[in-house]
Amino acid sequence: MAQAGAFQQLWSAIADIGRDTATGGYRRFAWTEPDLRMREWFTGECAARALDLIEDRMGNQWAWWGDPDTAASGGIVTGSHLDSVPDGGAFDGPLGVVSALAAIDQLRADGFQPRRPIGVVNFVDEEGARFGVSCIGSRVITGALNPDRARAMRDADGVTMAEAIRRAGRQPDHLGADPETLGRIGVFVELHIEQGRGLIDLGRAVAVGNRLWAHGRWRIEIPGEANHAGTTRLSDRRDAMIGCARAVLVTRAAAEAHGSLATVGKISIQPGGVNAVARSATAWLDARADGEQALRATVAQIEDEVASSGAVVTEESRTPQTAFDDALVTRLASLLDGAPVMSTGAGHDAGILSNAGARAAMIFVRNPTGVSHSPAEWAEPEDCLAGVAALTTVLADLSGSEP
Ligand SMILES: [Zn+2]
């Protein structure tokens, strides 16, 4: 089947970029060499299709079939991101970009002529793996993230985002809100690997996403007092590690109490010696809930309970509950043979755009492991093709007529 071969060809061209040979996971962090290679690959594939590539004020790449500036109500945009979490899977992000290119190939093979322009986007730094805040690309252009704050963010080595962009041979000065770019988006449909087990039980290859949960990241700083592990009596200790352990357990209990999800996936202990009582600890909290109220209650309970260890909780980023465009969701579900409609606890650029007023929705492709942000993330080849077929149908419908 020609389409299967074409998809596979696109897919295998990026299979080795940023891949850790020991774990099989990907390390494609924003503005690092693997990320730049992914951007180059995208540029090449767009050129091969004679798509017009435009970079916005944050470096997000937009490739257009047709001129979005002559379309009164903007174009039909799809795509996703090409960066990864540490040891990420192959599908989170790239599946949306590769499927978009494959869908355009299919439309052209069918002789389709879009009445509205079609765009494919590669959002920069979606995962926030390097600077700690997710969806930087869409947050900056929508004005949800101040450009000065973005430029000053530091990675684990202390490199600021401004410096990282400079080292990548680019200019950080013009970062900022970009209404011109946003004005070109009439509709945004992001195709993404499902990051849970919803589609397995339903026996369907694709679903339509209608809602993103409220979510955010908080930093919990736990004070202590450094001392000798061999001579300090237990009763005399102020051990930050104990407070840190308590914070982890309290996080789990708060999530259970409020039907939310809350995770401590990263901690830093000072001074970090085997024979030293910890002087301080920092734990990073990721919390998500289907509803603002449940999220607030979860974080408030954690704050309350860690206060007994003298800990201070600081919000690092927060994204409100996002409901995608109702009419668009209904339309996609009916176009896709009554595809199931589902919400997710994962954040996406589609959510940031939607919160900024864009008409948006998502398509999820079945993940038989249910695992994501791990090398175990997977989609069967026939499900990837079902995703391409779904996207092709959607793009044809939305670009062929006024929605
Ligand atoms: Zn993603």
Distance 246 CA to ligand 1 centre (A): 31
Say if CB 200 and CB 332 are below 8 A apart.
no
pLDDT bin (cut points 50, 70, 90) of residue 403 is very low
Distance 358 CA to ligand 1 centre (A): 19
Question: Distance between CA 82 and CA 153 in Å, rounded?
Answer: 21
Distance 80 CA to ligand 1 centre (A): 7
Distance 401 CA to ligand 1 centre (A): 29
Distance 95 CA to ligand 1 centre (A): 9
Instruction: Give the tens place of pLDDT for each residue, 163-213.
Output: 999 999 999 999 999 999 999 999 999 999 999 999 999 999 999 999 999
- Mean pLDDT of the region 104-114: 96
Distance 191 CA to ligand 1 centre (A): 9
Distance 2 CA to ligand 1 centre (A): 27
Distance 127 CA to ligand 1 centre (A): 7
Distance 126 CA to ligand 1 centre (A): 7
- Mean pLDDT of the region 21-32: 96
Say if CB 356 and CB 142 are below 8 A apart.
yes
Distance 47 CA to ligand 1 centre (A): 24
DSSP 169: T
Distance 254 CA to ligand 1 centre (A): 26
Question: What does the pLDDT read at residue 401?
Answer: 60
Distance 85 CA to ligand 1 centre (A): 9
Distance 133 CA to ligand 1 centre (A): 14
Say if CB 361 and CB 329 are below 8 A apart.
yes
Residue 122 has phi, psi (to 5 degrees) of -115, 105
User: Left, alpha or beta for 372 (phi > 0: left; psi -120 to 50: alpha)?
Assistant: beta
Sign of CA dihedral 266, 272, 276, 280: negative
Do you know the residue count of the chain? 403
Distance 138 CA to ligand 1 centre (A): 13
Distance 192 CA to ligand 1 centre (A): 7
Distance 226 CA to ligand 1 centre (A): 40
Arithmetic mean of pLDDT over the chain: 96
CA nearest neighbour of 18 among 94, 83, 95 = 83
Question: Distance between CA 80 and CA 82 in Å, rounded?
Answer: 7
Distance 113 CA to ligand 1 centre (A): 30
Distance 375 CA to ligand 1 centre (A): 14
pLDDT bin (cut points 50, 70, 90) of residue 338 is very high
Distance 367 CA to ligand 1 centre (A): 13
Distance 273 CA to ligand 1 centre (A): 36
Instruction: Give the tens place of pLDDT for each residue, 315-337.
Output: 998 888 999 999 999 999 999 99
Distance 38 CA to ligand 1 centre (A): 15
Amino acid (one-letter) located at 14: I
Question: Distance between CA 237 and CA 226 in Å, rounded?
Answer: 9
- Mean pLDDT of the region 273-294: 97
Amino acid (one-letter) located at 137: G
Distance 51 CA to ligand 1 centre (A): 23
Distance 312 CA to ligand 1 centre (A): 30
Question: Distance between CA 136 and CA 30 in Å, rounded?
Answer: 10
pLDDT of 252 strictly over 90: yes
Distance 79 CA to ligand 1 centre (A): 11
Distance 335 CA to ligand 1 centre (A): 24
Question: Distance between CA 72 and CA 18 in Å, rounded?
Answer: 40
Question: What does the pLDDT read at residue 1?
Answer: 44
Distance 310 CA to ligand 1 centre (A): 36
- How many percent of the chain have pLDDT more than 90? 95
